[in-house]
Structure 1
Amino acid sequence: MDLSTKYLGLQLKHPLIAGASPLPDDLDKVRGLEDGGIAAITMYSLFEEQITQNLIGSEAHIGAYENSFSEAASYFPEVDLLERGLEAYLEQLRRVKEAVSIPVIGSLNGTREGEWVYYASFIEEAGADALELNLYFLATDFDVTAAEIEDRCVSIVAQVKDRIEIPLTVKLSPFFTALPHFAKRLSHAGADGLVLFNRFYQPDIDTDELDVRPALDLSHSPELRLRLRWLAMLSGQLPVDLSVSGGVHTGLDLAKSIMAGADSVQMVSALLMNGPQKIGQVLKELTHWMEDKEYSSLEELRGCLNYQHCPDPEALERANYMRVLKSFRTIPSHRKD
């Protein structure tokens, strides 16, 4: 069974890679991922704010909000987090590269144009085989238009691409107004790949302490559905590699991602919950499913259920939407009177 694939110019033994997470902060866990069979590892992110802290100091970063109401302090990161800056990140990247023989992908996270984009070259110099640019951004300004946000993101991608020779992939949220057109613009700006999607943390409110509690729940398989829709929409339409991130926990999740058009599949939550042994289990499930369906390679499977040959995907989506609504039935009650 041939599970090999290419992603960002990297020849991988299979499509399952470790997505950005805290795992690469521990070299024993990094070696465990390689021993477990992972095809590549993505570093945790170096944030724009960390680079800014190195340039101007954390007090200046947080001081801009000193006149805000006191409860807002819970929204901002602790200073010691910001101080884990560029040099610490680059050193850990070097250590990870030395610890494993599989590809290591750097991760840079930012949303505002500025000097931080220059630091992409340092990640390349530290040994990263590719760079993932995470455009994590929640629009909160009532005076900033969707077009302005997209223009800024496209500009950032172009600036980062100009500063590196290694392949660049861009991790997106699903909340852009016209995602296919935006993806096309990113491709023209130099993106070699797209990752669908980053997961927004959803803060909760502590009603006892009257405080905001940041939280990020681990993913589950149903989250994959949103990724499958947009993978299928983009697959075969743009000269970029596609990776899915969020909701991959089983071999069938992996198979669905490939059928929708993914070149690689990122796993984080399943690894955090189950450890590196999960890698072999998922690959075994995929292999058994492919043998049962008489597929001999991923290339036969990839994109077989994308929308490339659908003349009107919008009409298809509307038709399926109506069919789902009309077919729904009230869940019967099991209450005994």
Structure 2
Amino acid sequence: MDLSVSYLGLRLPHPFMPGASPLVDDLAMVDKLVEAGASAIVMHSLFEEQLTYDQLRAFRDTELYAESFAEAATVLPSPPQYALGPDAYLEQIRAIKARVGVPVIASLNGSSPSGWLEYAKLMQQAGADALELNYYYLPIDSRETSESVEQRLLDVVKIIKEEVTIPVAVKLSPFYTCLPNLAAKLEKAGADGLVLFNRFYQPDIDVENLEATTTLHLSDSSELLLRLRWLAILYGRFSKSLACSGGVHTGLDALKAIMCGASAVQVVSALLMHGPQRLKQIKDEVTLWLEEHEYESLQQALGSMSLRRCPDPAAFERTNYMRILQSFRLSP
């Protein structure tokens, strides 16, 4: 079965890859992921805050006390605890590239169009085959408009595209006013692909201690539904690559994402729960389904359930909406 796809201009033997996670911090785990068939390795994100901290520390070391006595220098505060600092992150890219024969996709996570974006060029120089911009910004200022929120993202993408020649995918949240319009703007700004979607980790409240708490909840297949809707809407309207991230746990989950238009399927929670071999299981399940249904290649399935063939997608969506609401009945 021919499972080959093109994602971000990279020719891959199949769409299945680990998504951004700490799994790739361990080279032995990277080996296991590749042995399980990973078509690419997606690095976890290097955060804007890490790079900004390093820049401020360098300033303090070299400039802040230039006119002071050495005895007056204060000790810098301890940096936030990240698995890999900026320099180690670049070394990890080099190490993975030297170790495996699949593309390596680096990742930057931030929200402001500033100097830290120059790091994209260093990632390319370290050997990254592509870059994923994991854009995370929570607007809380009532004076900020939806247009300005989108413009921040577009500015970041434009700056990165000026820094690198490798493909750049943008990992989005689902909470934009008109996602198809934003997708068109991102394509014009130079984005080579979209990853749907970023998962937001919501804080809870500890009512006894009166404090916010954070808890990591891994995804399940129910989270896939939101991805399927927007993949199906954007396929054919956004002419670049689409990737699915979030809610893929089985071969059928992956197949649904592909049928809606994803040429890359990123898996994280299932790998954290079941180990790297789950990637091979997903690939095998998709292959078996295609063979049993007499498909000649994965390309026949790609986008086959998108709204591209529907003349009025909005009417289609409203019809389904009304049907679901009217089908509910209270138990006797």
Cα distance in structure 2, aligned partners of 1:82 and 1:269: 20
Residue-by-residue CA offset, 1:287-323 (whole Å, 9 max, x unaligned): 1111121112111111111111222211111111000
> Cα–Cα, structure 1 residues 90 and 189, in superposed 2: closer, same or farther, change >3 Å?
same
Residue-by-residue CA offset, 1:241-280 (whole Å, 9 max, x unaligned): 0000000011101110110011110000000000011111
1:282 shift after superposition: 1.0
1:237 shift after superposition: 1.3
Structure 1 counterpart of 2:11:
11
Structure 2 counterpart of 1:225:
225
Structure 1 counterpart of 2:129:
129
Identity %: 53
SS in 2 for 1:255: helix
Normalised by the size of structure 1, how large is the TM-score?
0.90
Cα distance in structure 1, aligned partners of 2:331 and 2:219: 25
1:213 shift after superposition: 1.3
Cα distance in structure 2, aligned partners of 1:303 and 1:238: 12
Aligned CA RMSD, in angstroms, stands at 1.7
> Cα–Cα, structure 1 residues 197 and 182, in superposed 2: closer, same or farther, change >3 Å?
same
- Maintained 8 Å contact 1:58/1:83: no
> Cα–Cα, structure 1 residues 162 and 207, in superposed 2: closer, same or farther, change >3 Å?
same
Residue-by-residue CA offset, 1:186-214 (whole Å, 9 max, x unaligned): 00000000000000001111223322212
Cα distance in structure 2, aligned partners of 1:329 and 1:99: 57
Deviating 4+ runs (over 4 angstroms)? none
Structure 2 counterpart of 1:285:
285
1:151 shift after superposition: 0.8
1:138 shift after superposition: 1.6
Structure 2 counterpart of 1:41:
41
User: Which one-letter code corresponds to 1:180 in the other structure?
Assistant: P
Moved more, 289-298 or 104-113: 289-298
SS in 1 for 2:102: coil
User: Which one-letter code corresponds to 1:107 in the other structure?
Assistant: S
Structure 2 counterpart of 1:88:
88
- Maintained 8 Å contact 2:135/2:153: yes
Structure 2 counterpart of 1:322:
322
Query: What is the count of residue pairs matched by the alignment?
Result: 315
Structure 2 counterpart of 1:51:
51
Matches within 5 A, 1:1-337: 1-57=1-57, 79-81=79-81, 84-331=84-331
User: Which one-letter code corresponds to 1:26 in the other structure?
Assistant: D
Cα distance in structure 2, aligned partners of 1:59 and 1:130: 30
- Maintained 8 Å contact 2:20/2:268: yes
Residue-by-residue CA offset, 1:135-169 (whole Å, 9 max, x unaligned): 11222111111100001111110110111010000
Where do 5+ consecutive residues of structure 2 fail to align?
61-77
1:83 shift after superposition: 9.3
Normalised by the size of structure 2, how large is the TM-score?
0.91
Cα distance in structure 2, aligned partners of 1:57 and 1:330: 62
- Maintained 8 Å contact 2:53/2:79: no
Cα distance in structure 2, aligned partners of 1:260 and 1:331: 34
User: Which one-letter code corresponds to 2:167 in the other structure?
Assistant: P
Moved more, 84-93 or 106-115: 84-93
User: Which one-letter code corresponds to 1:140 in the other structure?
Assistant: I
Cα distance in structure 2, aligned partners of 1:331 and 1:130: 52
- Maintained 8 Å contact 1:16/1:265: yes
Cα distance in structure 2, aligned partners of 1:214 and 1:106: 26
- Maintained 8 Å contact 1:172/1:197: yes
Cα distance in structure 1, aligned partners of 2:305 and 2:83: 46
Cα distance in structure 2, aligned partners of 1:264 and 1:293: 21
1:82 shift after superposition: 5.8
SS in 2 for 1:325: helix
Structure 2 counterpart of 1:73:
none
- Maintained 8 Å contact 1:54/1:83: no
Cα distance in structure 2, aligned partners of 1:191 and 1:104: 18
Cα distance in structure 1, aligned partners of 2:57 and 2:302: 47
> Cα–Cα, structure 1 residues 59 and 297, in superposed 2: closer, same or farther, change >3 Å?
same
Cα distance in structure 2, aligned partners of 1:100 and 1:291: 29
Cα distance in structure 2, aligned partners of 1:173 and 1:4: 28
1:331 shift after superposition: 4.5
- Maintained 8 Å contact 2:258/2:303: yes
> Cα–Cα, structure 1 residues 228 and 83, in superposed 2: closer, same or farther, change >3 Å?
closer
Structure 1 counterpart of 2:70:
none
